[in-house]
Amino acid sequence: MKQKFTPLGKRVLVKLDAPKDKTDSGLYLPETAQKDFITGVVEMAGKEAENVSKGDKIMFASSVGVDIEVNGQQFRLIPDELYIDAII
């Protein structure tokens, strides 16, 4: 049975990207650098979330938010004001 999930308030549901071990220019990243910040794609945003919407790619600190599972998929639920930047 599928669960229905809707973030409340200013929370954002994010599908995490796989960690990168190399930059786009070819430089290898140490494991410590890979763990500092995480990127992901916004799957859902609460009604009060500002400046972010479904499909936006965002960056945030790895310590931010709560990992949850919805319908067998892993997501992170983070407060809207704690993401660092939208990636274009």
The whole-model pTM stands at 0.79
The one-digit pLDDT tens for each residue of the chain (88 residues) are 677 888 999 999 999 988 777 777 787 777 776 667 888 999 999 999 988 889 999 988 888 999 999 888 999 999 988 887 777 6
Question: Alpha-carbon dihedral of residues 29, 34, 39, 40, nearest 10 degrees?
Answer: 110
Domain boundaries defined on the chain: 11-87
Strand-pairing partners, residue 38, are 60
Burial of 48 (0-12, 13-18, 19+ CB in 10 A): exposed
Q: What is the CATH number of domain 11-87?
A: 2.30.33.40
Asked whether the beta carbons of 33 and 23 are under 8 A apart, the reply is no
| Whole-number pLDDT of residue 15 | 95
